[in-house]
Amino acid sequence: MIVGLTGGIGSGKTTVARMFANLGVPVYIADKEAADLMETSSEIRTEIIKLLGEQAYNGTLPNRAFIADNVFVNSDKLARLNAIIHPRVQQHFLDWVRGQKAPYVIKEAAILFESGSYKNCDKIITVTAPLEVRIHRVVSRDGVTQQAVESRINHQWDESKKVALSDYVIENILIENTEKEVEDIHRKLLLLSETY
């Protein structure tokens, strides 16, 4: 059984993913795998340079700041970048799933809905938090401006839209409450996986 895990920037989906991993659930972090593929795939590198120019890479390493500055102010470039990366990440994920033996696996992806990969999930968990909390977390974590965070938020689906399409919603404000919710959902998914 494939469970999608998503949430807007700063919602704490990576923290929630770690909680599931601590319960023994195999977790695939799509953003991390996408970053690895951007470094290791010469095909992806060539296409991104064609899209954004030579400055998009320093040798074989993606220039993440340059890429983010270019795509988060241009929705067309963002869509074209996603079209380069996401089909490859999806294939990589499917290959990874075939090697797992657990009752269910989690695919953690920031743009699970936006990329369309939610359609390949049996169940979906969305992690939420109040907007001001999310902005504060990202500004503190990444050392970026509030404006930069808001720009990224504006390129993601509205939280209410994600919640409406989700099977489970975790409000991630107090860590102890979040842990309880994760354990509760884990028990439900284990029971549910017996029917898959």
Q: Is 14 annotated as a binding residue?
A: yes
Q: Is 8 annotated as a binding residue?
A: no
Report helix angle 75-98 to 64-71, nearest 10: 120
pTM of the model: 0.88
Q: Is 4 annotated as a binding residue?
A: no
Q: Could you confirm whether domain 1-26+103-196 is CATH 3.30.465.10? A: no
Q: What percent helix, strand, coil does the chain show, rounded to 5?
A: 60, 15, 25
What whole-number distance in Å separates Cα of residue 120 and Cα of residue 90? 10
Predicted pLDDT at 196: 79
Predicted pLDDT at 194: 87
Distances (CA, A) of 98 to 33, 105, 123: 16, 11, 18
What whole-number distance in Å separates Cα of residue 19 and Cα of residue 111? 20
Q: Is 107 annotated as a binding residue?
A: no
Domain ranges (residues) in the chain: 1-26+103-196, 31-99
- Partners of 127 in the β-ladder: 7, 170
Predicted pLDDT at 122: 97
Q: Is 15 annotated as a binding residue?
A: yes
Q: Is 143 annotated as a binding residue?
A: no
Burial class (CB in 10 A: 0-12, 13-18, 19+), 58: exposed
pLDDT tens for the chain, residues 1 to 196: 999 999 989 999 999 999 999 999 999 999 999 999 999 999 999 999 999 999 999 998 999 989 988 998 888 999 999 999 989 999 999 999 999 999 999 999 988 998 888 999 999 999 999 999 999 999 999 888 898 888 888 878 888 999 999 999 999 999 999 999 999 999 999 999 988 7
Strands 61-62 and 57-58: antiparallel
Predicted pLDDT at 144: 87
